[in-house]
Structure 1
Amino acid sequence: MIRTGRRAYTLGDLAALEGRALGTYRNRRMHQRQGHPQPVSSEGGRVLLYDVGQVDAWRAGRPVPPLPDTDDGADLLDAREAADVVGVSVKSWESCKSDAALAADVVLVRGQLLAADPVAGVEHWPRAVVQGWQAVRPGKGQGSGRPDGARDGVPRGELQPRIAALLAARADVTAADVSERLGIHPSSAQRVLKALRAQAVAAFLEERPAASSDDVAARLGYGIVTARAALDAARTASGTPLTTP
């Protein structure tokens, strides 16, 4: 995690500090030299991050200062750490993070030095945001999906706006994701998702009446299969002959 008020270097930054190409720096494992500060990214994380103050002190030959050992609401957690706070797997967190309340506060941690750093941005979330979301998260304690015959956990009148928020945050959200996030039956999630996507495509067709499924996928961010189904649904609703490529 990145502690409150701290900044982080990427591996690309460390290489730049020593005038090395990233590949050379990594292959020679220069970040693993004796005494070098340890990563602040979680164990097993895809991108290594290092505390700026610790690295700068080490490079200057000064003692490496310890990081704060008390949790703060402004600490930035990566995906593994956020998943641990919520009590879900990292894979499940990939669905959780599409919730509008989390998507609004995501922080992309980038390198400090390189304009063209290969790290596009590592997603982090403030601890307080994750904890607040965990306390009120929809479907909490209900597990994955809903059994047959169970009542939906969201009032019917709230389904569309709640699912629309998830779809806006992540265009490829699935019915299974929505079912788990909102505690509703997968068939309800699929029905509303299908309608929302068809509506979005219908609006697009007003601008581009001859749009293909490839056009829909590019414009709305849907997978090609989803785009094709949404285009067919929109054309069916409008009475237009299906012309799905």
Structure 2
Amino acid sequence: MIPAGRTGLGTAEVAKRMNRKTLPPEVRQTLPTPISRKKARTAIWDAEQIDAHLAGQEIPDLSFGGPSPDELITADQARRELQGAVSLADFENYVREGSIPGPDEVIDGVPHWKRSTVLAADDLLDRDEARLELRNPITLASWGFYINQGRVPEPDVTVAGVPHWKRLTIRTWDVNRPGAGAGGGRPKGVKETKPRNTAPNPKREARRERLQALLAKGEATSQAISEFADSEGISERTVWRMISDLRGTEA
């Protein structure tokens, strides 16, 4: 994985920085630990760490620098941390669908994320790391078939010949791709044989009222949301969607 905001270097690029044609094993052993996964066929190093090593300086850690990664930021601040132009509506949609995790904390009814939580969405994943991000992981062979068939988004970047995808790219594709049985339902142009039941659902309305009470008390912490989801027998993603709907109604 190439952490968000870092620059990866392949073997040829590192060798060039060292004025060498190759990187034999004895030379590799003197270099900082690669940022690519341990069993990756192609080693990738962090550019800043390599430059520090060659300059005889202390090897910097892989933190992105700047403000604290644990600083809590609002949705509007969070969407500005992501690479590329991400609107507030897009960010909120990413959260609703689960491409970006729910808030780390809710302060006075306002969701807040740790900066590190948001930046993780821009981490670059290699082929196998991307596969493991899927909600229902598949075999490496099947994943390779998906890629070769063009059923997976194009890589966001290629480093040292290795395709990498942003974590957000994979998660967004995963939550929106058709699942088993997709494409069912009433064919276009065919009228319904009976009207839909639009009567209020008492159970759903009661759940909505309980959630409203939780929000009104200002107790909608991540732990409280998790406990609410468990007690109601629903997912946290559903709870956050309900919260978004409630706030939209109140606006």
Range of TM-score over shorter length = 0.3 to 0.5
Higher RCO structure, 1 or 2 (CA under 8 Å, sep 6+): 2
Normalising by structure 1, we get a TM-score of 0.47
The structure that is helix-richer by fraction is 1
